[in-house]
Structure 1
Amino acid sequence: MTMLKIVAFKLGEEEYGLDIDQVLSIERIEHITRVPNAPPFVKGVINLRGKVNPVIDLRSKLNLGQADYTENTRVIITKYDEIELGFIVDQTSDVIDVAPEAIESIASSVFESSYFGGIAKIEGRLIILLKLAELIVAATD
């Protein structure tokens, strides 16, 4: 049985996770250059080691309200196909191994389920797994 490795992070009180294979790095939030006419959830672009990456405020994208950036705020740099994108999160927690049987699917139409790949139940924690491909497609449309 293959364990799934996820990077866990927080948006408010809830924990979310992304597949570690899609995460390039986790960075402190630095200067973000605003981009004119961008959707509200696109905060702008950052220059990271000579490469310009768009930055998405994940709270805003998922309609979770606004948060002030703090010492714990991070940008998770992700890669899907040839697209590199940064997601602003409130804080990163840890890297966790998740057994496939610990993931429960979200079969409810109550959720915008295209972004959610299920909920991992680990040691009393509920971690909402995000689908990077759908988030990136939604962010680049």
Structure 2
Amino acid sequence: MEEIIIKQYVIFEMDSQSYGIDIQSVQIIERMKSIMRVPKAPYYVRGVMNLRGEIIPVIDIRRLFKMDFQEATDNTRIIIIRMEDSMVGLIVDKVKAVVELEATQIEGISNMQGKIDSNYIVGVGKMQLGEDIITIINHVKLIETAFNIQE
């Protein structure tokens, strides 16, 4: 019998599109907080925030994905991602849910054309009920690119 691999994803919304990020990397989800601008940081790095005494850089996903500017709302959240021994915040329009997807529900992206760099995308998840499609984000690549980290 073949083993079914199921992963959980935190689903967030940007411009009415759904994106997913592997829950294993999500440390916490915070409401919008004050963010201090960092001189000479790239445009999409909003700045840094203080989370319980830890200074965390924050990336504005809207800016990184070249989406139109939108004011923060009551739904705006910062998804805190843990990467090895550091954390990074990702500002998103809205966090919707946590979903489980089987590996068979995720397709590659060889034929996808869109606003976002395909390097940031792992694949596209299809929900079993309805027509919902979730773009699964490669947060490691996204963060490496945002901070220009070379392997």
TM-score range, shorter chain: over 0.9
What is the rounded CA distance, in whole Å, between the counterparts of 1:56 and 1:136 in structure 2? Answer: 8
Indicate the residue corresponding to 2:36 in structure 1.
33
What is the identity, as a one-letter code, of the residue corresponding to 2:85?
E
What is the identity, as a one-letter code, of the residue corresponding to 1:98?
L
> Aligned pair count?
141
Larger radius of gyration: 2
Gap runs ≥5 in structure 2: none
Length-normalised TM-score, structure 2: 0.90
Cα shift at 1:134: 0.3
Counterparts in 2 of 1:46-125, with a 5 A limit? 46-108=49-111, 110-111=113-114, 112-122=117-127, 123=129, 124-125=131-132
Indicate the residue corresponding to 1:15 in structure 2.
18
What is the rounded CA distance, in whole Å, between the counterparts of 2:145 and 2:6 in structure 1? Answer: 28
What is the identity, as a one-letter code, of the residue corresponding to 2:97?
D
Q: 1:29-79: per-residue Cα shift (whole Å, max 9, x none)? A: 011111111111011000001100000000110112211100000000001
Give the superposed CA RMSD. 1.1
Gap runs ≥5 in structure 1: none
Partner SS, residue 141 of structure 2? helix
What is the rounded CA distance, in whole Å, between the counterparts of 1:127 and 1:110 in structure 2? Answer: 15
What is the identity, as a one-letter code, of the residue corresponding to 2:69?
Q
Cα shift at 1:109: 6.9
Percentage of matched positions with identical amino acids: 35
Indicate the residue corresponding to 1:140 in structure 2.
147
The 10-residue stretch of structure 1 (18-27 or 108-117) with the greater mean CA deviation from structure 2? 108-117
The 10-residue stretch of structure 1 (50-59 or 62-71) with the greater mean CA deviation from structure 2? 62-71
Length-normalised TM-score, structure 1: 0.96
Partner SS, residue 114 of structure 1? helix
What is the rounded CA distance, in whole Å, between the counterparts of 2:133 and 2:113 in structure 1? Answer: 18
